[in-house]
């Protein structure tokens, strides 16, 4: 068992911004705000503060949020939690996202004030275009983002859910402005490895772009909890339940192996899933598990306290390849 005493931070792309391999996604703190807030429970701010403090105490130094996550509720909840934990702006990195749907790039400078308002004095380390859908080209969006960097309103630029072609266009547009494209945030986990075959990971490596992996435990399937107690599926929304039921048996051999590996490290199955993500492809991948409970934030942070062996990484790689849809 290889334990790590010090958490080594990684650069976001070719920027000087350093983050821990695992951050905390705070979409789940959006409950009660906007359309997407209806999908999450309303968590008391005191509990949100405790979740954020648990992440910080575990060594996490960065947080991922977005305009879309509750129309400012997630961002504001994060800022309040960071202040409650006594963290200064210099001690943390915040990534947030501009919602492009039904908008043009002209909206980017018009709404940055809202993002900064909700973040309550904390700066934006990375500002992403949340989806590849808007009425403007990637070039127009990147030029608007570059203007924000030059104005000192954000530190770096990213995208989310961009395919290789759009990544290249965004990268080229920023390069003309003397800036790197820092990140592309995409779905990536042991059960969804499309970025390894559709060119996204290869393009990111070529251009020096960091991959931020979201849904790292496949909506809970890679925690093993549903395999142990299928009755928990009763609490899963109907539109997800049928697919998860089908996936339980086909993924059971992988989960069994992950349980054995976890036991050898004094870890959990979820921690093994996170550890594989941030080490299998080297330093190019970081990830942002979410949390609605303190123990989940503690667990995610704890995944940085050990490192899977090369043999363990390879075993999970081999087993998961046969599970790709």
Catalytic positions, written as ranges: 69
| Cα 55 from Cα 293, distance rounded (Å) | 11
Q: Please, is 130 exposed, middle or buried when counting C-beta atoms within 10 Å of its C-beta (0-12, 13-18, 19+)? A: buried
| Cα 13 from Cα 157, distance rounded (Å) | 10
CA 226 to chain CA centroid, Å, is: 22
Closest CA to 302 of 261, 273, 260: 273
How far is CA 48 from each of CA 19, 82, 192, 205, 209, rounded to the nearest angstrom? Answer: 21, 10, 29, 35, 31
Q: How many beta carbons lie within 10 A of that of residue 106, not counting itself?
A: 11
Tell me the backbone φ, ψ of residue 72, rounded to 5 degrees: 105, -15
* Cβ atoms of residues 265 and 257 within 8 Å: no
To which residue do tokens 């995944």 refer? 303
* Cβ atoms of residues 154 and 127 within 8 Å: yes
| Cα 111 from Cα 114, distance rounded (Å) | 5
| Cα 250 from Cα 227, distance rounded (Å) | 11
| Cα 223 from Cα 243, distance rounded (Å) | 16
DSSP tag of 183: E
């Amino acid at each position: 068992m290889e334990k790590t005493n010090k958490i080594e931070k990684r650069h976001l792309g070719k920027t000087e911004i350093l983050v821990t391999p695992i951050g905390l996604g705070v979409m789940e703190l959006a409950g009660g705000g906007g359309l997407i807030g209806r999908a999450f429970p309303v968590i008391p701010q005191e509990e949100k503060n405790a979740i954020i403090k648990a992440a910080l105490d575990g060594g996490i130094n960065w947080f991922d949020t977005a305009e879309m996550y509750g129309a400012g509720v997630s961002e504001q909840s994060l800022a309040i939690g960071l202040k409650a934990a006594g963290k200064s702006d210099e001690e943390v990195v915040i990534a947030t996202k501009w919602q492009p749907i039904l908008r043009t790039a002209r909206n980017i400078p018009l709404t940055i004030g809202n993002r900064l308002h909700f973040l309550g004095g904390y700066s934006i380390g990375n500002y992403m275009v949340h989806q590849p859908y808007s009425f403007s080209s990637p070039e127009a969006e990147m030029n608007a983002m570059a203007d924000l960097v030059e104005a000192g309103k954000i530190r770096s630029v990213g995208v989310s859910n961009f395919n290789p072609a759009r990544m290249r266009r965004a990268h080229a547009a920023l390069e003309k402005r003397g800036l790197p494209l820092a990140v592309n945030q995409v779905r990536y986990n042991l059960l969804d490895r499309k970025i390894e075959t559709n060119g996204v990971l290869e393009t990111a490596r070529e251009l020096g772009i960091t991959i931020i992996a979201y849904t790292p435990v496949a909506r809970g399937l890679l925690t093993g909890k549903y395999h142990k107690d299928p009755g928990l599926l009763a609490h899963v929304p109907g539109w997800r339940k049928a697919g998860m039921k089908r996936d339980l048996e086909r993924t059971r051999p992988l989960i069994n192996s992950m349980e054995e590996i976890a036991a050898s490290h004094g870890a959990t199955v979820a921690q093994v899933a996170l550890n594989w993500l941030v080490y299998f492809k080297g330093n190019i991948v970081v990830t942002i598990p979410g949390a609605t409970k303190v123990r989940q934030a503690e667990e995610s942070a704890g995944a940085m306290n050990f490192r899977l062996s090369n043999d363990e990484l390879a075993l999970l790689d081999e087993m998961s390849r046969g599970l790709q849809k």
